[in-house]
Amino acid sequence: MNTVFSKSLLLCFCAWAPLNAASEIDVFKTDRNVSNTAIKEIDKTTGSCEVDSVPALLTLEAFIERVLCHDPQVRHAWADAKLQAAMVGVRQSAYLPRLNGSSGITSGYNEMTYEKEGEYSRHGHQHQLENRLDLSWVLFDFGRREAALQNARQLLVAANANQDRRLQETFLMAANLYYEALALQGRQIATTKITALAAENLKAAEAKYAAGVAALSDRLQAQTAYSQARLNEIRSSGALRNTQGLIALRMGLQPQTSLELAGNLSRRPDIQFNNGVDDLLHQARRDHPSLIAAKAKVNAAKAAIGESQAAGRPTVSFIATFSEVKTNQPMEYNGDLRVRDNSVGLQLNIPFFEGFERTYHKRGAQAQLEARESELADVEQRISSELWTNFQTLTIETRSLERTAEWVEQSNQALRVVQGRYNSGVGNMIELLSSLSAYAAAEQQHIDALSNWQLARLRLASNLGSLGFWTL
């Protein structure tokens, strides 16, 4: 019997091994449904995150590629999409038959005793081996599997859209950080220049004081202005080092890594947002990944309602059973026995009563649909509000760029004139310091306008759902 059982186990294993190996194959090609379009459009790679060493001059594009590769939330969103793709495969598998095999052995000792007729008593060991194969295949279920599959597919659309949203949010965060560093570089250059001008003023004031043609107050005021300029220079340098450390960390490097950023803040011609705000709103409603995800979740909730309704309807299945039972026992029990049972048929399942469970499933599915519709309306309102705000901000900052550029030029010319007047003995220190302060404010406002303009462009592109290298 042990030999027979061993053979049965070996046969079952031989049948199970190739089926188990086949189960590791993506039969339904669900991985193809995981979106990588956003990755290719943004970083223009093949989807891999293999990057070279950090270049001597770090460009914005290279920085964003590295951030996308190292950001854990991007990987998390990709894993969520793959998870939902696997759920689509689970729903598709419901259309295929189920085949289960079993093999078992039992051993026992039977004893039958007659108290008055002892000669009829008997006893002996009994061994039984059973091999069984069951097949079941749902043929018709009134659309339950179709609704479940539609639900999974819509949730996959939402997961892919959320992955795209996460990529664009990371893209925007990286661009903001890079532009912030460029703005701080500009501020450091400006503060260094202003410190040099303050040093020139201090030198002129000291010379005039030493010659006896200027008061001590002029020299003290010039010293104060120079100290303030040096303080601003130190603070701007520290802020730049801090931002450079954050850039290094986002790329998976040590914060003290020496980095040199390529490029500078400058206005670039923009042709992406020349359409009216109504056209931009229409584009956002069509392309924004958050809206795509919200709409897909609404469709998934509708499919869930259909699934809950179909769950209360009959199902028709094809079933088949193949079994063999071998029993080894003494002749007192009629000797060895072998029974084979082969059957096929159709099975009808009708759920008559389930304790009102189905009723509450329907109510829950309907409530979920209402919640998803509310989320869609909220997302649409939020995106429309953000788009309008960023559109107006871009318009304002575009106009501000021209004015601040004029302000810098005018204040610089005024400062040079006042410096000449002071050096020639006509002007006074208050007028000189006022001109220097006006020039410093103009430089700061122009750098802020450049930074705000760049960020407004990117935020508007993000609101449209079309953020990528083409917007840099």
- What was the pLDDT predicted at 51? 60
Q: How many CB atoms lie within 10 A of CB 161?
A: 25
Of 99, 135, 97, 133, nearest in space to 20 by CA: 99
* Helix 216-250 and helix 144-210, axial crossing angle in degrees, nearest 10: 160
- What was the pLDDT predicted at 280? 82
The C-alpha atoms of residue 257 and residue 246 are separated, in whole angstroms, by 10
Please tell me whether the overall predicted TM-score, pTM, comes out greater than 0.95 for this model: no
- What was the pLDDT predicted at 332? 61
The C-alpha atoms of residue 247 and residue 181 are separated, in whole angstroms, by 9
What domains, with CATH codes, occur in the chain? 57-96+127-471 (1.20.1600.10)
- What was the pLDDT predicted at 40? 37
- What was the pLDDT predicted at 282? 83
Angle CA 54–59–62, to nearest 5:
60
Q: Are 169 and 347 in contact (CB under 8 A)?
A: no
- What was the pLDDT predicted at 43? 41
Average pLDDT by consecutive 10-residue portion of the chain (472 residues)?
49 52 71 63 45 80 88 90 93 94 83 65 76 94 94 95 92 92 90 90 87 83 91 93 93 89 68 65 87 96 94 93 85 74 93 88 94 96 92 89 89 88 79 87 90 88 78 60
- What was the pLDDT predicted at 436? 86
- What was the pLDDT predicted at 103? 87
Q: How many CB atoms lie within 10 A of CB 423?
A: 15
Place of tokens 């970083």: 43
- What was the pLDDT predicted at 115? 66
